[in-house]
């Protein structure tokens, strides 16, 4: 009888299209999920992700139990807990989907070393991405710094394999070790902290079945209008698959194939995700340090009061505030509004992009180290293929363009709901009688703008102008 295998679930909390699971080939298996808060350091899961993880593990455990092989829950540092468990059950192999975060690569190296010392193997599979980020390189063998040539190279070189089916029954171990209970992990909001997750429960169905439902609904609905509608934050214009992808409840291969050739724009967004991982792989400092060296000395003006107003959705700019409140209430924010609110923080308020990224990390259910870090660097103008620093989103015009009838702002900033469309994105310009009719008292029921748009924009441009002249081209230079 071949020795049992340890199936280590990480960011692939699904049974279908799971190559590590498929590699079991009928062997006895012990499925395990390890909560390791030590290895990631400051990038341990944030509050919103913990909420998601709790529910996702519940679903995964039920699906595995149905197939005869219950999920073992453990806590500890990977390099100690995984080899110890493999030893305890006599597993020759540990099978897992590959992770790409710098801390996870280091942890895997140590797990691999510890397993090898007792003649065991760690086998990692491409599970969370369409392709391995280190396999794509420019003609000169370098990493890509620009999205378009990167995506063309992926399209030319990568044939996305058809997704694998979910397995039937699994062969469990006869006497698996005892694990921990999910409730003991306290991943959900705990009293006396107020229950901040009511809006999450109303918005999401974590788990593989929820992911499949979301994907099917998107493919038969919003996908057709996706290329044109995706910037509209009200209504279901995008897939909202990001948390399901972040936890691996659906694989990018499944999403890619479900979208088909007609879903080219959607597929291109999946490639942005791959591009983020490409950057993280080659520039592990991505979450902490500006990729463009000149930006490392950017004259940020950190101020707790401003950061707090932004976090609470009380900047006085309705689109920004609606986005920040959507984030707090549902754990998610529409991409266009993420761009506008992030830009507002770093440009209008001159707060360090790392502070914004940390807040998103804690509050997003789709918090993903590669996507979050690359996107914040993109917005701040200091990352790969970034928006130029001098392009400062105007939150009023963005609101009027993408939320012209105000459905989005009215939903998340109800105190402005009765304002006419004309003033909804610029309430401080509304005539007194319109404000009074709508029940808005500026500075009382809704804040006045925390910064004047033109002055904030100019201050950002001045700060940018003070950077060394090489700032804009520094990234490309550093790559050649
Ligand atoms: C400041 C900022 C922070 C962000 N932080 C995260 C994060 O932590 N996690 C995260 O998954 N995305 C992040 N994004 C990217 C993007 O906003 C979300 O992926 C998207 O809004 C998720 O919604 P969706 O699933 O409906 O996307 P869809 O439009 O349906 O796209 C499908 C999938 O493609 C990927 N994708 C879409 N847009 C991008 C993008 N710009 N960059 C990389 N991948 C993309 C996502 O996996 C998404 O689920 C961030 C963007 C900004 C501007």
Can you give the residue ranges of every domain in the chain? 5-127, 129-160+206-282, 293-472
Q: Is 479's pLDDT higher than 50?
A: no
Helix, strand or coil, per DSSP, at residue 32: strand
Surface-to-core class of residue 261, CB atoms within 10 Å of its CB (0-12 exposed, 13-18 middle, 19+ buried)? exposed
- Contact assessment for residue 246 and residue 368, using Cβ atoms and an 8 Å cutoff: yes
Ligand 1 atom closest to the Cα of residue 242 is 49
Ligand 1 atom closest to the Cα of residue 364 is 8
Ligand 1 atom closest to the Cα of residue 244 is 49
Ligand 1 atom closest to the Cα of residue 366 is 9
The alpha carbon of 248 and the centre of ligand 1 are apart by a number of angstroms equal to 14
Separation of alpha carbons 350 and 368, rounded Å: 24
Q: Residues near ligand 1 with C-beta < 6 Å?
A: 230, 238-242, 245-246, 269-270, 272-273, 276, 335, 338-339, 342, 360, 364, 366-368, 371-372, 375-376, 379
Q: Is 472's pLDDT higher than 90?
A: no
Place of tokens 């917005």: 379
**pLDDT tens digits for range 354-390:** 999 999 999 999 999 999 999 999 999 998 887 777 8
Separation of alpha carbons 158 and 221, rounded Å: 28
> Which class does domain 293-472 fall in?
mainly alpha
What's the rounded mean pLDDT across residues 424-442? 98
CATH superfamily of 5-127: HUPs (3.40.50.620)
Catalytic residue ranges: 269, 272, 300, 335, 353, 376
- Best residue among 215, 277, 371 to mutate for probing ligand 1's pocket (most ligand atoms within 8 Å of CB) is 371
What's the rounded mean pLDDT across residues 208-235? 98
Torsion angle of alpha carbons 343, 347, 353, 355, nearest 10°?
Answer: -100
Separation of alpha carbons 138 and 76, rounded Å: 40
The residue whose C-alpha atom lies closest to atom 20 belonging to ligand 1 is 335
Separation of alpha carbons 143 and 132, rounded Å: 13
Ligand 1 atom closest to the Cα of residue 270 is 34
- Best residue among 273, 319, 334, 386 to mutate for probing ligand 1's pocket (most ligand atoms within 8 Å of CB) is 273
Q: Which of 196-200, 215-219, 273-277, 295-299 has the lowest mean pLDDT?
A: 295-299
The residue whose C-alpha atom lies closest to atom 18 belonging to ligand 1 is 335
The alpha carbon of 25 and the centre of ligand 1 are apart by a number of angstroms equal to 35
What's the rounded mean pLDDT across residues 443-472? 88
The alpha carbon of 11 and the centre of ligand 1 are apart by a number of angstroms equal to 16
What's the rounded mean pLDDT across residues 103-121? 98
Separation of alpha carbons 121 and 90, rounded Å: 12
The alpha carbon of 267 and the centre of ligand 1 are apart by a number of angstroms equal to 12
- Best residue among 52, 154, 242 to mutate for probing ligand 1's pocket (most ligand atoms within 8 Å of CB) is 242
**pLDDT tens digits for range 57-66:** 999 999 999 9
pTM for the structure as a whole? 0.97
pLDDT of residue 475: 37
Q: Parallel, antiparallel, or unpaired: how do β-strands 93-97 and 28-35 relate?
A: unpaired
pLDDT of residue 144: 96
- Contact assessment for residue 49 and residue 331, using Cβ atoms and an 8 Å cutoff: no
pLDDT of residue 468: 76
The alpha carbon of 188 and the centre of ligand 1 are apart by a number of angstroms equal to 24
The alpha carbon of 269 and the centre of ligand 1 are apart by a number of angstroms equal to 8
The residue whose C-alpha atom lies closest to atom 29 belonging to ligand 1 is 238
DSSP 111-155: HHHHHHHTT-EEEEE--SSSS-GGG---TTS----SHHHHHHHHH
pLDDT of residue 473: 45
> Which of 268, 272, 267, 363 shows the shortest CA–CA distance to 310?
363
pLDDT of residue 240: 98
The residue whose C-alpha atom lies closest to atom 41 belonging to ligand 1 is 272
DSSP 355-392: HHHHHHHHH-TT--HHHHHHHHHHHHT-STTPPPTT--
What's the rounded mean pLDDT across residues 340-365? 98
Could you tell me which residues are beta bridge partners of residue 34? 74
CATH of 129-160+206-282, one of 1.25.40.80, 1.10.10.10, 2.40.30.10, 1.10.565.10: 1.25.40.80
> At a CB cut-off of 8 Å and minimum separation 6, what does 157 contact?
131, 135, 136
Q: Parallel, antiparallel, or unpaired: how do β-strands 72-75 and 171-172 relate?
A: unpaired
Q: Is 480's pLDDT higher than 80?
A: no
- Contact assessment for residue 159 and residue 15, using Cβ atoms and an 8 Å cutoff: no
The torsion angles phi and psi of 462, rounded to 5 degrees, stand at -65, -40
Place of tokens 């008292």: 441
What's the rounded mean pLDDT across residues 79-101? 98
Tokens of 230: 């995706």
The residue whose C-alpha atom lies closest to atom 23 belonging to ligand 1 is 240
Name the more confident of 466 and 92: 92
Q: Is 443's pLDDT higher than 90?
A: yes
**pLDDT tens digits for range 446-455:** 999 999 999 9
- Contact assessment for residue 270 and residue 252, using Cβ atoms and an 8 Å cutoff: yes
The residue whose C-alpha atom lies closest to atom 53 belonging to ligand 1 is 339
**pLDDT tens digits for range 179-206:** 999 999 999 999 999 999 999 999 999 9
pLDDT of residue 391: 84
The alpha carbon of 360 and the centre of ligand 1 are apart by a number of angstroms equal to 12
Choose from 167-176, 355-364, 463-472 the range with maximum mean pLDDT: 355-364
Same fold, 5-127 and 293-472: no
- Best residue among 226, 269, 323, 334 to mutate for probing ligand 1's pocket (most ligand atoms within 8 Å of CB) is 269
Mean pLDDT of the chain: 95
pLDDT of residue 470: 54
């Amino acid at each position: 009888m071949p020795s049992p295998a340890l199936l280590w679930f990480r960011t692939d909390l699904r049974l279908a299209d799971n190559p590590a699971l498929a590699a079991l080939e009928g062997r006895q298996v012990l499925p395990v999920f390890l909560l390791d808060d030590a290895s990631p350091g400051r990038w341990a899961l944030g509050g919103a992700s913990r909420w998601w993880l709790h529910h996702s593990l519940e679903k995964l455990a039920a699906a595995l139990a149905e197939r005869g092989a219950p999920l073992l829950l453990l806590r500890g540092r990977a390099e100690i807990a995984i080899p110890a468990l493999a030893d305890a059950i006599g597993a020759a192999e540990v099978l897992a989907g590959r992770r790409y975060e710098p801390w996870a690569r280091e942890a895997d190296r140590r797990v691999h070393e510890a397993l090898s010392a007792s003649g065991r193997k760690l086998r990692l599979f491409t599970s969370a991405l369409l392709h391995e980020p280190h396999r794509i390189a420019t003609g000169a063998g370098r990493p890509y710094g620009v999205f378009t040539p990167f995506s063309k190279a992926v399209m030319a070189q990568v044939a996305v394999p058809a997704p694998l089916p979910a397995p039937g029954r699994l062969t469990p171990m006869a006497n698996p070790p005892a694990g921990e209970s999910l409730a003991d992990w306290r991943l959900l909001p705990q009293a006396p902290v107020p229950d901040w997750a009511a809006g999450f429960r109303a918005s999401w169905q974590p788990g593989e079945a929820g992911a499949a439902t979301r994907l099917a609904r998107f493919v038969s609905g919003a996908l057709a209008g996706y290329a044109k509608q995706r910037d509209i934050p009200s209504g279901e214009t995008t897939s909202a698959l990001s948390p399901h992808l972040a936890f691996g409840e659906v694989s990018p291969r499944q999403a890619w194939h479900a979208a088909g050739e007609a879903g080219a724009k959607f597929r291109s967004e999946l490639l942005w995700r791959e591009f983020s991982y490409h950057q993280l792989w080659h520039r592990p400092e991505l979450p902490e340090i500006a990729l463009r060296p000149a930006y490392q000395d950017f004259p940020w003006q950190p101020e707790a009061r401003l950061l707090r107003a932004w976090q609470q959705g009380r900047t006085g700019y309705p689109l920004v505030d609606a986005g920040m409140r959507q984030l707090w209430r549902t754990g998610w924010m529409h991409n266009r509004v993420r761009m506008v609110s992030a830009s507002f923080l770093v440009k209008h308020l001159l707060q360090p992009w790392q502070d914004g990224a940390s807040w998103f990390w804690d509050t997003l259910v789709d918090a993903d180290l590669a996507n979050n870090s690359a996107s914040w660097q993109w917005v701040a103008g200091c990352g790969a293929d970034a928006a130029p620093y001098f392009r400062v989103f105007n939150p009023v015009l963005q609101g009027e363009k993408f939320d012209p009838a105000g459905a989005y702002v009215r939903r998340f900033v109800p105190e402005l709901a009765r304002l006419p469309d004309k003033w909804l994105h610029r309430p401080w310009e509304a005539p007194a009688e319109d404000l009074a009719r709508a029940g808005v008292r500026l500075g009382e029921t809704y804040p006045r703008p925390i910064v004047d748009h033109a002055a904030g924009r100019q201050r950002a441009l001045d700060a940018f102008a003070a950077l060394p002249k090489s700032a804009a081209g520094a990234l490309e230079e550093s790559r050649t």
